[in-house]
Structure 1
Amino acid sequence: MMELPIDIHTVKGFLSDDEGAALYAMALDCAPLGPCLEVGSYCGKSSVYLGVACQKAGGLLYAVDHHRGSEEHQLGEEYHDPELYDEAIAKMDSFRVFRSTMDVAQLNDTVVPIVASSAMAAKYWSTPLSMVFIDGGHSEEAAQTDYRSWVGHIMQGGILAIHDIFPDPAEGGQAPYHIYQQALASGLFEELPMVNTLALLKRL
């Protein structure tokens, strides 16, 4: 049974309850096999679901995010949050809130923050991963970079999860859907049932 040490609805983020529960269940199964990794931590909502599961299973979660916000979080954009904007440097900064979330959720012994771009974090990466959750920038370039950077590190039997899958362009951005289609076309993955906008694929 999933029990979270924090009221998840107090954490900023765009993950639905059913999507969070699915991430938790997948991480709980995967974490004993090797570390999990997420791209796009923001304020730590998904990190709580994944991190608590990893903690329960005795595993580890790497949380990759430059914490300067995606394209849609910037000043004047649709999902800009003024509470996360640092006036002194005129940049977004979600890392201080992320750290606070990890403190409250008692996950500092399980979640390893990597404050860097996806490409930089992956440049010399060599550790096999039991689960990769992609929820970074939604531009085509950002999504493709996340996919290319991490998909090759997923171990056999591991899980690739991709958030914000909208087959209909009228409902949302297409970049996550495109990398989901690439993963299916690669022949490396078996498709599992989708949960809301969360795609789940198992590495063959």
Structure 2
Amino acid sequence: MSLKLPINIHNIKGFLAAREGEALYHLAAEASSLGPSLEVGSYCGKSTIYLASACKLTDRVLFAVDHHRGSEEHQPGEEYHDPDLFDKNTQLMDSFRTFRENIRAAHLENWVVPIVAPSAVAARCWNTPLGLVFIDGGHSLEAAMTDYRSWSRHIVPGGYLAIHDIFPDPADGGQAPYEIYKMALASAQFELVEMVDTLGILRRI
């Protein structure tokens, strides 16, 4: 399947490598026969555009969960802080306006359902079975564990769990995504399909 993106993805702020984005696109297209997709951690919409472009092919929707206040590393004084996303009026990081602009520019508003809330709050009353869950939220152990426990249980048999920023070697990056990746495999509910750079793709058994 050829990749069909409605916008120049390289102009979108984000930390997703092109190979990882393409893998998500193909994964969402495959998972669409099983149910809607959901991502945790949208930031400015780079992964959202990859996923929603594939969902559009079968008229499925992507639920995009993010409080849009940034993770720990996005805060002032931290390594990945972006002053352009800092709201001086509220003195808070806010990526939602940029996210909406990018989704609108990509003509994907009819296939993206933004859920502007912390992951645990959004999941509190969630009952919709999901064909794909992509976890790329906060990288503290507590945040990653919350995302995994909140959403993995909603994946249908045969559906997919994708986890970003998996670094087995601590020298390469934070360990929280790697910890939930190991937890998923140890649960015997998921099996590894493939690794694409730092993106782990698992299937629910």
1:34 & 1:60 partners in 2: Cα distance? 9
Q: SS state of the match for residue 161, structure 1?
A: strand
C-alpha deviation, 1:190, in angstroms: 1.3
User: Normalising to structure 2: TM-score of the pair?
Assistant: 0.99
Q: Structure 2 matches for 1:83-162, cutoff 5 A?
A: 83-162=84-163
2:30 & 2:37 partners in 1: Cα distance? 11
2:30 partner letter: D
Q: What percentage of residue pairs aligned between the two structures are identical?
A: 63
2:190 & 2:109 partners in 1: Cα distance? 32
2:99 partner letter: F
2:69 partner letter: R
User: Which residue in the other structure is 1:15 paired with?
Assistant: 16
Deviations 1:103-160 (A, max 9, x none): 0111000000000000000000011000000000000000000000001000000000
- Residues 13 and 45 of structure 1 are in contact (CA less than 8 Å); yes or no, is this contact kept in structure 2? yes
User: Normalising to structure 1: TM-score of the pair?
Assistant: 0.99
C-alpha deviation, 1:33, in angstroms: 1.8
Q: SS state of the match for residue 33, structure 2?
A: helix
Which runs of 4 or more aligned residues in structure 1 lie more than 4 Å from their structure 2 counterparts after TM superposition? none
- Residues 32 and 58 of structure 1 are in contact (CA less than 8 Å); yes or no, is this contact kept in structure 2? no
2:183 & 2:10 partners in 1: Cα distance? 33
1:31 & 1:69 partners in 2: Cα distance? 28
**Residue-pair matches, total:** 204
C-alpha deviation, 1:3, in angstroms: 1.3
RMSD: 0.5
User: Which residue in the other structure is 1:166 paired with?
Assistant: 167
C-alpha deviation, 1:41, in angstroms: 0.2
Where does structure 2 lack aligned partners over 5 or more consecutive residues? none
User: Which residue in the other structure is 1:48 paired with?
Assistant: 49
2:59 & 2:32 partners in 1: Cα distance? 7
Q: SS state of the match for residue 32, structure 2?
A: helix
C-alpha deviation, 1:21, in angstroms: 0.3
Where does structure 1 lack aligned partners over 5 or more consecutive residues? none
1:200 partner letter: I
C-alpha deviation, 1:32, in angstroms: 2.4
